[in-house]
Structures are given as structure tokens and as C-alpha cells.
Amino acid sequence: MLPITELTSVFKLEDFNLFDKIYVMDRNNLKTIKQLAETPEQRDKVSLILENEDLQDPYYGDESDFKIVFELLNEACEKIKFDLIN
């Protein structure tokens, strides 16, 4: 397990080798990260965290926007965990 030392990080090419799956929040990041991939296998590692839906950045919103995004991410992570276990 990798230690969490930052709240955010910039994607690096070596992340393709560090992670089996890479989740992004929106289609813009999906496109950008997939363009960095050097192989079809690397491209296949990248997907939207909400499957077919963009997750809006709550930065310019209010506290309720952060709560909504937290709940959506929490649900998505629970689904990922369930899929990995089963």
C-alpha cells in the first residue's frame, strides 16, 4: 500500500506502472490521461470514477457541494471495494 502524503498529486507517467487502476473525475482528465498512455494496457487502466458521469469539482461551490461530491465519491469507492472483493 502506498502511503498518503499529499491531499492531491499531479499524475505522472510512472503512475501507469504503480497502479492497476486509475480513476479520474471527469472526461477532460480521462482524455488527457489516456493520451499520455503509451500502450493499450495503460489506456485500459483509466476510467471515470462515476463510470459514465462527470463529477463536478466543488471548489467554487459551497459546503453543500462538497458534501454531495463526498457522498458520490464514497458510494463510488464502496462499489469499487465491493467489485474487488467479489
CATH of 15-85, one of 3.90.550.10, 3.40.50.2300, 2.20.25.90, 1.10.10.60: 3.40.50.2300
Q: CB of 51 within 8 A of CB of 35?
A: no
Question: All 3 cell numbers of residue 34?
Answer: 489516456
Nearest by Cα to 30 from 9, 15, 51 = 51
Domain extent listing, the chain: 15-85
Burial bucket for residue 33 (CB in 10 Å: 0-12, 13-18, 19+):
buried
pLDDT attached to residue 14:
95
Whether 9 has a pLDDT exceeding 90, the answer reads no
pLDDT attached to residue 6:
59
Across 22-31, average pLDDT: 95
**pTM, 2 dp:** 0.83
* CA distance linking residue 33 with residue 35, whole number of Å: 5
* 21 — pLDDT class (breaks 50, 70, 90): very high
Question: All 3 cell numbers of residue 75?
Answer: 458510494
